[in-house]
Amino acid sequence: MSRPLRIRLKNLCFLNILWIAFSGFSLQAQLSDNSLISIITCDAGQDLYSSFGHSAFRVQDSAKGIDWVYNYGTFDFNTPNFYYKFARGKLLYSLSVSTFSDFLFTYELEKRWVKEQILKLNQEDKNALFRFLENNRKPENRDYKYDFLFDNCATKLPEILKKVLGNDLDFNGDHLKTHFTFRDLIQQNLLSNSWSSFGIDLALGSVIDREAVVEEYMFLPKYVMLQMTNTTLEGNPFVQRERSVLEYSDKRFRNTFGTSPLFWMLLLLLFTLTISFIDLRNGTRSRWLDFFLFLITGTAGLLIFFLWFLTDHSATANNFNILWAFPLNVVACYFLVRKDRIPIWMGKYILILLVLMTITLILWIFQIQVFSPLIAVVFAILGFRYALLCRYFTNSNKSLL
């Protein structure tokens, strides 16, 4: 056999192998005429990470034995430096695929409702969406950098639908009669007098106090579900039909007042006022109370600083809570707890803290940033104590212990 002929035969064999491989993939990425693609929306849970519900794609094709859920809300606890990456906003989330029965197990266990919206797609669009999802599940494609507002398990669904279906898909916003900010939308899913609500308002900055546009509402699963019923494809309703997979009543989780942040803040306010009146009457200063207040606010300020400047979280930028939860208070608390002479600058420093609190109130009044209503109690605690300390340090250059 001549060398050119051998080369031609090798090339032909190689092309045949490629054709067989491609044909195999094409067969795998083709759905039958009776297939269905739907959006799954799941109820919120009691834990903070599940407070906003969940969204996923479901692909059904009985002819091929397919009943799969494509879930963009998974991550690996075994990731090296997991907690560090999570705190820095660098943790990768992934697309995972499971059977529908396995996916439902958690929701049945926790008695959380699950609803399904079957999409009205022609065969070409079904296969295009299926191929996209199958390609996305490959190890080299499945990971993405999570962002709470703009890139999560819920936002992935409308993003993918728009990529696959193009401009024929129209997200109509006429059903949104009231326009909410991101903060409003987040708080809709949280108890008002809860540590999770207070913590989120403390950690997230003024960037979430702008009104969300129609597509941006869909960072929350329930708004993905609502939007799908108000979406058209080529002018026709996008949802073919909707059904309940698991039927449970909406849960209204409640906190007992004794464990709520308001209870403990009012308790601290009462304690601070009592000790301050005793200090005022006796001309003394309770070092450990000052140490505690400055340590707590300073530590909160360091956390805010970290989230704002040292992470990739988009929602923690421009957080003016840092004005009243001032990071340098962790340094000031060291001087305030000492028994020897207090630095002469301490009185001026506390006056600056009062000014910063006033600026915070102005920002709140003009809605530049919306703060937790519980901050009003915190301001009462700090404002009264700061005013007493200003008076104390004005009258004396040293603490009277």
Q: Could you tell me whether strands 114-119 and 36-42 are parallel, antiparallel, or unpaired per DSSP bridges?
A: antiparallel
The whole-number pLDDT of residue 82 equals 78
Least reliable range by pLDDT among 4-13, 143-152, 282-291, 352-361: 4-13
Domain-by-domain residue ranges, the chain? 35-246, 257-395
The pLDDT tens digits for 218-236 are 999 999 999 999 999 999 9
Choose which CATH entry (3.30.750, 1.20.1730, 3.90.1720, 3.30.70) describes domain 35-246. Answer: 3.90.1720
Q: Both tokens of residue 85?
A: 């990456």
103: Cβ–Cβ under 8 A, 6 or more apart, which residues?
Answer: 40, 56, 69, 71
Asked if pLDDT for residue 7 goes beyond 60, the answer is no
* Cross-strand bridge partners of residue 93: 144
Q: Could you tell me whether strands 92-99 and 114-119 are parallel, antiparallel, or unpaired per DSSP bridges?
A: unpaired
Percent of residues, the chain, with pLDDT higher than 90: 78
Alpha helices in 174-286 (DSSP H): 182-187, 195-203, 221-228, 261-282
Give the phi and the psi of residue 36 in degrees, each rounded to 5: -135, 145
The pLDDT tens digits for 331-374 are 999 999 988 788 889 999 999 999 999 999 999 999 999 999 99
Asked if pLDDT for residue 77 goes beyond 60, the answer is yes
Alpha carbons 41 and 130: distance in angstroms, whole number: 19
**Which pTM does this prediction carry?**
0.88
Contact (CB, 8 A) for 239 and 120:
yes
What mean pLDDT value characterizes the chain?
A: 90
The whole-number pLDDT of residue 135 equals 96
